[in-house]
Amino acid sequence: MENQEKQHKRRTRYKGTHPRNYKEKYKELNPQKYGNTIEKVIRKGSTPAGMHISICVNEILDFLQIQPGQKGLDATLGYGGHTKAMLKCLEGKGHIYALDVDPIESVKTKKRLDEQGFGEDILTIIQTNFRNIDQVAEKVGPFDFMMADLGVSSMQIDNPDRGFSYKFEGPLDLRLNPNQGISAAERLKDMSKAEIEGMLLENADEVYASEIASAVCKHYKQGGKIETTTQLHDVIWEALSFLPQNEQKQAVRKSSQRTFQALRIDVNSEFEVLEEFMEKLPDALASGGRVAILTFHSGEDRLVKRAFKEGKKAGIYSEIAKDVIRPSAEECNRNGRARSTKMRWAVKA
């Protein structure tokens, strides 16, 4: 009789002490089993693969002043770190609703929080874009407290299959919901030089927007493809080849970060979504309700600042943050991704 049993396939192991391949980091991807490994990675100032370290948690809780029995909203669930901290403040009384457009990570987070004792009796996770806050509030009523973290989660950035970073080889996708819309590769291919340059300037203040736009269009005209993260990174190298050699590496790194940011914002219509969210936000808050928002680049911060100032002037908000709140130096040392964070808040009149 033919043996139909499948051969056992060994798990991919670490190669050396510092594995570069995402899938080789099996210990980091299993925090419940390898807690010591996770602690070591965090102590080094890095974020473990497949995880996200929440930013400004204490600052958010200090402002929100959550009381047991209240109803709250985490507009951007992500890895669930902020949600978990807010749930603890409820002490088992009240309810938190959490939104996330990502169908991949929201399922993982729901399972993880459920296993930690935060089930559907106190937490409801809804897979939707936070621009739909009005629809959620219409069903469940206004919220006593609310927060939104506008950054992309580390587990999205670090997973090469999502295409969020030039540091990892993967498809040039960049969609927060890979089941909707078109990928960054498809979007880029359809854009003119002027459109690419405008996108880079508006979404990321890219210094070499003109040079990168020209290089992308030239690459396509010569029959080249830009379908992966590495291919786009290579085109940026080519675009900045005119720089002195001792300046090139740093310039390419920064321009690559800004280019990927600009493309991600464009593909996910992030500014349009944020404007819609800020417009609908006041009606979703209860009287005296508090909202805290974390931004990660100047375009987002300007939008939030303007909306809060206009709301205060119109009498919608009784108080708004006069200045941005920044993560502590200690937090930035522990988590490098916290350095660009700005927190703003408002209180509904």
Digit-by-digit pLDDT tens for the chain (349 residues) are 444 444 444 554 545 555 555 455 444 455 555 455 545 544 454 444 455 588 999 999 999 999 999 999 999 998 889 999 999 999 999 999 999 998 888 898 899 899 999 999 999 999 999 999 999 999 998 999 999 999 877 777 777 888 888 888 899 999 999 888 999 999 999 999 999 999 999 999 999 999 999 999 999 999 999 999 999 999 999 999 999 999 999 999 999 999 999 999 999 999 999 999 999 999 999 999 999 999 988 889 999 999 999 999 999 999 999 999 999 998 888 887 788 899 999 999 9
Does 122 fall in a domain? Answer: yes
Helix (H, G, I), strand (E, B) or coil at 124: strand
- Quote the domain boundaries for residue 211: 177-267
67 and 130 fall within a common domain? yes
Instruction: Please say which residue of 248, 267, 286 terminates a domain.
Output: 267
Specify the CATH number for the domain of residue 236.
Answer: 1.10.150
262 and 301 fall within a common domain? no
69 and 123 fall within a common domain? yes
183 and 134 fall within a common domain? no
244 and 295 fall within a common domain? no
Lookup: tokens for 272: 């349009």
C-alpha dist (Å) from residue 205 to 78, 110, 112:
26, 36, 38
Instruction: Please say which residue of 267, 293, 310 terminates a domain.
Output: 267
pTM confidence score: 0.82
- The structural domain count of the chain equals 2
Cα–Cα distance measured from residue 71 to residue 289, given in angstroms and rounded to the nearest whole number: 10
Does 47 fall in a domain? Answer: no
Instruction: Please say which residue of 267, 286, 315 terminates a domain.
Output: 267
140 and 284 fall within a common domain? yes
**Residue at token pair 């509904």:** 348
Specify the CATH number for the domain of residue 338.
Answer: 3.40.50.150
Q: Is 66 exposed, middle or buried (0-12, 13-18, 19+ CB in 10 A)?
A: buried
What end-to-end distance do the CA atoms of the chain give, in Å?
Answer: 77
71 and 146 fall within a common domain? yes
- Asked whether the beta carbons of 343 and 326 are under 8 A apart, the reply is yes
Cα–Cα distance measured from residue 160 to residue 183, given in angstroms and rounded to the nearest whole number: 14
